[in-house]
Amino acid sequence: MAKTLVIVESPAKAKTIKKYLGNGYEVFASKGHVKDLPKKQNAVDVQNDFAETYEVIEGKEKVLEELKSAAKKADEVLLATDPDREGEAIAFHISEEIKNPKLKVARVEFHEITKKGVDHGVHNPRKLDENLYDAQRARRVLDRIVGYDVSALVWSKLAFGLSAGRVQSVALRLIVDREREVEAFVPEEYWNIAVGLGAASPPQRAPFVAKLASADGKKLEVTNGEVAGKVRADLETARYRVAKVVRREQKRNPPAPYTTSKLQQDATNYLHFGAKRTMQIAQALYEGIDLKRDGGPVGLITYMRTDSTRVSDDAIAEVRGVVAKRYGKEFVPERPNVYKSKKNAQDAHEAIRPTSVEIHPDSIKKHLKDEQYKLYKLIWNRFVASQMTPAVYDRTTVEIDVAPTVAAPAYRSYLARATGRILKFAGWLQVTEGQQEFAGEEESAGAAAEGGAAAPAPEATAAEAERAAPGPSAEEDSEALLPDMKEGEALAVSPPGVITDQKFTQPPPRYNEGSLVRELEKRGIGRPSTYAEIISKVQQRAYVEKRDGGAFQPTLLGKFVVDGLVRSNLDIMDPNFTAQMEEELDAVGAGNLKREQLLKTFYKKFREQLDKSKKLAPWKPEAEKTDIVCDECGSMMLKKWGKNGWFLSCERYPKCKATRDLSDARGTAAVRETDISCDKCGKPMIIKTGRFGDFLSCTGYPACKNTRPVPLGVACPSCGGDLIEIRPRKKGGRTFYGCSNWNAEQKCEFKLWQKPVPVPCPQCGAKFVTRTGGKKAMLVCATKDCGFKQEIVEGEGEDGAADGAAAPDAAAVVASAAPAPADRPASTEPTPAGRPEAAPQGAGAAPGAAEKPARAVRARRTAS
């Protein structure tokens, strides 16, 4: 019997596909790339049309031998690597390795790992696409050339060992530019003024609040308390009359099904998954999950790297049937909703959707990991919503003439406005389960809703509206219907009376993973398969740090790198140039541009710019003289900058190699006394600040060089030890909180992902609560099933106290807090963990230690 060998990338996918193909087929996995450019300068021959020298990746020799051996026993080989450029490159490399004149080799694509998807792929083989392969080769060569040459430039101008990439450098520039906007931002005062109104005569109706919109026919902008006070005095005794009442129906159209970038944005904002983690989970859902049905794994979603909103006719027919059955026929539009993909979309794959809408998330929850369930549910809800009718609101807008009665009013007349709406028909919101904002909803203007009528663009989200116009707005809707009123009707001031609310404009928000992906997509930088890699590399290089809540903040090192590259006038630092390069790579993939032509054009100009930049001055700040005396030789010390930050170095270097960590302007570490005793010598310990944050240091230094992480003031509920912050060994990893006894003889494996706060829970009496990040910082009880949570009000620090103040007692934290049930399964539940692969915070060097000893101290405190 003829044998067909099917080669895929993932072992998990191989298992799923084997189930569908049955006898006559053997399925093997390449486990990703098998060949790559070696890590040496001459891997690309620039003079010979940029010819590459590929080598088998170290450790993949055995995999290749298995593939070659299996190919010798087969009559046909189907290369079923992922349906994208990287997959095409892997297929080409495997084809080269198993080459045999008698062997028939074809390329197949599986856009969904289901019986139908696999059968369709197997029965529709094609030739290997040399254009797609050339596009991947061109990208790889570009990245290699830029990576090696620009990294060498950064070494020579800033510090040895640093690196820079083609697309990652542009992403870093976006983060740095945003940080500069934040730093340069000057808050401007403004006042929101509103008034509570009710009927002037019986019958009485429920009062409502109207916001002041204009004065003397012009938009009213109150920028100081003095004017606000005068306007308030005018309103308190003014006459109010209804000038205009407008009632209309308002529709909110459903968003398109997920593309890669939109999925990453919503996963960041609602599930708090980073882009890389989102793609890893989605990959598992695509490759197959064992649902204990049909004897093997089932692919739950279509291919997850896509920029298209296109959906197959079969999937649309299925989802329309499920919507009618599950929610009712009134939720099914007359004709299917159609969404336009972006102008520069490759449109190679469908949108991300469930392979079968019949598989509801709740029906398979027991077979999924928690993160898989959450992401699958997000995808399922979004796809089903995309083929439902619009949500319909009753919206009422009331304009009110205000006539001051005081002798000398600030203005002769005012106009107040109140807008309210109430949900009349849920439509697609029926399936969203409380989610309020949706990535890409503003692009639904391209949808053909309700049988082809162009859908109006939805209103901006609250966050977008605040960023666009940080001043007062008179158009904000309250989620309630206003009382019936007639034009000409008199109104009177009612509780809460006149409201004058002082505000200050806010700086633009720093990028988080979701908003950075959105910006990259908007500017045309990168493609669906590269977003996660771009963000991951920016973090790994220590050029940015993640603040609480996930916002990116560039380090001083990151700023120096960006500033130096921008001053060098390299095109690669121009977002528009990078976007243009993506379009040219797409042109290579489509066969409209030769790979060699693209590379030659780029390289010629790149080399000219690079040669000029090498002649520029160093990027690092000049050394500064200080009045600090060297402890070792008595000479003066200089303030210098290295890739790990500012430090002091003896002016007699290299004869004297004394250095000192620079923690404040004087170069001496700021210290704070504690009542903690050293567990080595018994002397008191003090808190010092090093390159890696605060740490406990023995006062017996240098005789006793013991250091420890700073306790967070919360006792471990498992063993009574101190809870400490533990930072990941790998850059870009996630910080967590564990017990200080994690490395003791009796190891304690208690672990939390959210920061513990030494405040008792007012609901269940637990000894501490945790602080969560996200759009709204919350205090949440760590006890399972307790459900207590409270939003941290603006201006509070990490411990729930105002910045600079001591942590409050329990009563202060929860005064006015109304316990509310958790809106999702608490991720703050303490869970046992293995030995943490991370380094406790505060493992910095003791004062006077050189850079290498400092690293050694940190390494000793890194868990194995």
E-strand spans in 560-633? Answer: 624-629
Pick from 382, 444, 73: nearest CA to 257: 382
Encoded tokens for 747: 């190891």
Q: How far apart are CA 114 and CA 159, in angstroms?
A: 51
Q: Are 414 and 402 in contact (CB under 8 A)?
A: yes
Q: Are 387 and 363 in contact (CB under 8 A)?
A: no
What is the amino acid identity at position 715? A
For residue 371, what are the CA distances in angstroms to 187, 272, 768? 40, 10, 26
Q: Which helix (H) or strand (E) holds 611?
A: helix 595-614
What is the amino acid identity at position 71? A
Residues 437-468: b if buried by 16+ CB within 10 A, e if exposed: bbbbbebbeebbbeeeeebeebeeeeeeeeee
Q: Which helix (H) or strand (E) holds 370?
A: helix 370-386
Q: Which helix (H) or strand (E) holds 791?
A: strand 789-791
Q: What are the backbone dihedrals phi and psi of residue 196, each rounded to the nearest 5 degrees, phi first?
A: -80, 130
> 114 in helix, strand or coil?
coil
> DSSP assignment of 687-747, as one string?
EEEETTEEEEEETTTTT---EEPPP-S-B-TTTS-BEEEEEESSTT---EEEEGGGGSSS-
List, by residue number, the catalytic residues: 303
3-state secondary structure 263-312: HHHHHHHHHCCCHHHHHHHHHHHHHCEECCCCCCEECCEECCCCCCCCCC
Encoded tokens for 16: 């799923």
Residues in contact with 458: Cβ distance below 8 Å, sequence separation at least 6, in sequence order: 252, 253, 441, 442, 444
Cβ atoms < 10 Å from Cβ of 263: 29
What is the amino acid identity at position 594? K
Q: Are 30 and 81 in contact (CB under 8 A)?
A: yes
Burial of 700 (0-12, 13-18, 19+ CB in 10 A): middle
Q: Are 269 and 519 in contact (CB under 8 A)?
A: no
- The residues facing 738 across adjacent strands are 724, 751
- The residues facing 79 across adjacent strands are 7, 107
> 835 in helix, strand or coil?
coil
> DSSP assignment of 421-457, as one string?
EEEEE-GGGGGSTT----TTGGGGGG-EETTTEEPPP
Q: How far apart are CA 131 and CA 11, in angstroms?
A: 27
> DSSP assignment of 122-178, as one string?
HTS-B---HHHHHHHHHHHHHHHHHHHHHHHHHHHHT-TT----HHHHHHHHHHHHH
Side-chain-side CA neighbours of residue 337 (13 Å): 28
Q: How far apart are CA 398 and CA 481, in angstroms?
A: 11
For residue 373, what are the CA distances in angstroms to 198, 264, 381, 388, 765? 49, 16, 12, 23, 31
Residue 364 backbone zone (phi > 0: left; psi -120 to 50: alpha; other: beta): alpha
Q: How far apart are CA 586 and CA 580, in angstroms?
A: 10
